[in-house]
Structure 1
Amino acid sequence: MEKVTPFLMFQDGKAEKAMNYYTSLIEDSQITNIAKYGANEPGDEGTIKQATFTLKGQEFMCIDSNIKHQFTFTPSFSIFVTCNTEEELDNLYQKLSEGGQALMPLGDYGFSKKFGWLNDQFGVSWQLNLPK
């Protein structure tokens, strides 16, 4: 086995927008490779055939599905972020929750100083934690 990489499938051509958004929010993050559909290929021209990006060193892959599925992301799989400061956590929670949905509002749930869980505007689930 070579490696294991989280894989995100976006619909409606949102993969590139999501990658740009995520890498702008989290320091030491970047888009590392993008392959787009061209003319006369099975996906919509200009959408993501396959891409990779990193968030704080963790590699992710993503695509824009050229097939409309009846499912999307689920909170049972989430991106867990350990923050260094309360300000960092509050800022990230506020930005990621814009256009999304709070699953657990920021608070003290007993297992950390502060914690929040949300689905972002793309439907991807995030858990943001400030350890004790």
Structure 2
Amino acid sequence: MRITTFLMFQNKDAEEAMNFYVSLFDDGKVVAVKRYGPGEAGEEGTVEHATFSLAGQEYMCIDSVPKHSFTFTPSLSLYVDCDSEEQIQRLYDALAEGGQALMPLNSYGFSTKFGWVNDRFGVSWQLNLP
């Protein structure tokens, strides 16, 4: 048995988001991408299913064909333990650009430094410097 985080994008953002996330982590990589072809359910060239890896953890994503009345919410977030001040600052700045700061980088008493953001795609990230 295995559990994998699955991200469903609604505005044809899956590939852009995946490539952005992969660019942020030294070992980030796109594992596989299957795109919709002509005459298939989704818009040609959009992501039917993709797999990518960040810090040894695998994720899946799609461009949803049906439109839903829901999207991402901060009640589920990706939690990253960072190795350095430079790393947490770089990730926070990149993820917050075009997104929304939920908790600015600061010491909140439970870690050296912590920040929480929704990125420009709506995915929520908690960044921690233990």
1:32-51 to structure 2, matched below 5 A, reads 32-51=31-50
**TM-score, structure 1 normalization:** 0.97
Tell me, what secondary structure is at the counterpart of 1:80?
Answer: strand
1:83 pairs with 2:66? no
Partner of 1:55: 54
d(CA) in 2 for partners of 1:33 and 1:125? 23
**TM-score, structure 2 normalization:** 0.98
| Aligned-pair CA distance for 1:62 | 0.6
d(CA) in 1 for partners of 2:123 and 2:54? 14
| Aligned-pair CA distance for 1:69 | 1.0
| Aligned-pair CA distance for 1:12 | 1.2
d(CA) in 2 for partners of 1:56 and 1:30? 9
Letter in 2 for 1:119: N
Tell me, what secondary structure is at the counterpart of 1:89?
Answer: helix
Report the aligned-residue RMSD. Answer: 0.5
1:1-132 to structure 2, matched below 5 A, reads 2-131=1-130
Structure 2 segments unaligned to the other structure (5+ residues): none
| Aligned-pair CA distance for 1:57 | 0.6
Tell me, what secondary structure is at the counterpart of 1:111?
Answer: coil
Q: Which runs of 4+ in 1 moved over 4 A?
A: none
| Aligned-pair CA distance for 1:67 | 1.1
d(CA) in 2 for partners of 1:80 and 1:24? 17
Tell me, what secondary structure is at the counterpart of 2:92?
Answer: helix
d(CA) in 1 for partners of 2:58 and 2:124? 17
Could you tell me the percent identity over the aligned residues? 61
d(CA) in 2 for partners of 1:12 and 1:110? 38
Structure 1 segments unaligned to the other structure (5+ residues): none
Letter in 1 for 2:116: W
| Aligned-pair CA distance for 1:45 | 0.6
